[in-house]
Structure 1
Amino acid sequence: MTARHQTSPVSFRINVHRLPQKGMPVAIEADAAARAALAEAHDLLSVERFHAELMVRQWKNSGVRITGTLRADITQSCVVTLDPLPAGIEENLGATLVPEGSRLARNDIEGGEFVLDAEGPDLPETFSGDTIDVGALVEEFFSLAIDPYPRKPGSAVEASADSEPAVEETGPLFEGLRKLGQKS
């Protein structure tokens, strides 16, 4: 899990040594203050709903596997018109965490080659201490699910009619490049 300097507005810490054998269900529902903090942190106009249903289980003795679903309703600014633009987020979550220094966090190099399967599971992330913040992890998935360039349907940026035509560069360097372009 990435290190955070600030506590997540939806922070929910779990002691990894006290997980039940069958796993621990976790529900995170952001209240009005947490939704306002999420909106500010992620440059949104508002977060109307933020709800996550998770299952936290032990994984390979000392690790933790987190699965679940995040649902959120947000309002962003259209990048073209700046009008409010509502959007829904529904993300399936899945993450595996292991203690720092665990051999399970390394991708062993076989025969001098680093093997990476783009379609395979991600390498486990590491955590330190005996607690993890599943709320902060959910916020990371939330951040990645937000459209970085929301655009209202039908909106487009129009080219200015006043724009000047491209200026032809002159000089010996540009002349040499033009000659090369004419030869091919």
Structure 2
Amino acid sequence: MSSASKDALPLRHPVRVETITLRPMTFELAAPQSDFATIARHLGVASLESLKASYSLSRNGDRVKLEGKIGAALHQICVVTLEAFPVALTVPVKLDFLPEAEIAAAAGADQGEGEIDIEVLLNEEDPPEPIVDGVIDLGAITLEFLALALDPYPRKPGASFDELAPETAPESPFAALARLKGEE
């Protein structure tokens, strides 16, 4: 993500890595009501009523561990009725961070000269996220995880997509030909 696109995020809460200690530190984040409309547009939802996040960060050398949860109340548009309906979400978050240079060095060491080798291992932890310019933006993390938790095809409780009653099947062109042939 470029720095220009990060500047466009409607929720920012940068934390300098050097301020994070070995002992877990708690960070509380609450979106101001004045930003609700902008955040709702960013997420593609009808409205946002509340957005709070609580994170615990700890640092061991260059590695930062983040755990927490996001709570949000919002309205999404039902794909069946096109009506807004309330949604309450609680999203767990767990990430590891390493400086960008260390991730790039590790990726370079894994690959030979000019070769691309992709190995997918199941049931393994996600690779660490990069620490860019010594900062972790809790606002960006909050928006990213909330966006991922949203139902891409929200359906209002009780809404059902009823099939239209089947019309009488159109007449086969061969049946029409047979009828014409019989009239001769």
TM over 0.5, yes or no? yes
Q: CA deviation at 1:87?
A: 0.8
AA aligned to 1:40 is R
AA aligned to 2:143 is E
CA–CA separation in structure 1 for the residues paired with 2:147 and 2:49: 15
Aligned residue for 1:140, secondary structure, equals: helix
CA–CA separation in structure 1 for the residues paired with 2:167 and 2:2: 46
Distance 1:164 1:11, change over 3 A: farther
Matched with 1:98 is 98
Matched with 1:22 is 23
Q: CA deviation at 1:116?
A: 3.3
Matched with 2:83 is 83
Question: Residue 67 in 1 paired to residue 67 in 2?
Answer: yes
CA–CA separation in structure 1 for the residues paired with 2:34 and 2:166: 47
Distance 1:164 1:22, change over 3 A: farther
Aligned length: 164
Post-superposition, which runs of at least 4 consecutive aligned residues in structure 1 deviate over 4 A?
Answer: 112-115, 161-166
Note the alpha carbon deviations across 1:97-153, whole angstroms, 9 max, x for none: 1111215864947xx985533322100121321212111011100100111111123
Q: Which runs of 5+ in 2 are unaligned?
A: 173-184
Question: Residue 124 in 1 paired to residue 128 in 2?
Answer: yes
Q: TM-score, normalised by structure 2?
A: 0.76
Which one of the candidate residues 146, 151, 155 is aligned to 1:147? 151
CA–CA separation in structure 2 for the residues paired with 1:63 and 1:141: 21
Q: CA deviation at 1:67?
A: 0.8
CA–CA separation in structure 2 for the residues paired with 1:119 and 1:29: 33
Matched with 2:161 is 157
Distance 1:164 1:98, change over 3 A: farther
Q: CA deviation at 1:9?
A: 2.2
Question: Residue 31 in 1 paired to residue 35 in 2?
Answer: no
2:79 and 2:153 in contact (8 A); partners too: yes
Distance 1:163 1:96, change over 3 A: farther
Q: CA deviation at 1:42?
A: 1.2
AA aligned to 2:126 is D
Q: CA deviation at 1:164?
A: 8.9
Distance 1:15 1:105, change over 3 A: farther
2:10 and 2:42 in contact (8 A); partners too: no
Q: Which runs of 5+ in 1 are unaligned?
A: 169-184
Aligned residue for 1:141, secondary structure, equals: helix
Q: CA deviation at 1:23?
A: 3.1
1:70 and 1:90 in contact (8 A); partners too: yes
Distance 1:14 1:164, change over 3 A: farther
Which one of the candidate residues 138, 156, 167 is aligned to 2:142? 138
Q: Which has the higher helix share?
A: 2
**Could you say what the CA RMSD is over the residues aligned between the two structures, in angstroms?**
2.8
Q: TM-score, normalised by structure 1?
A: 0.76
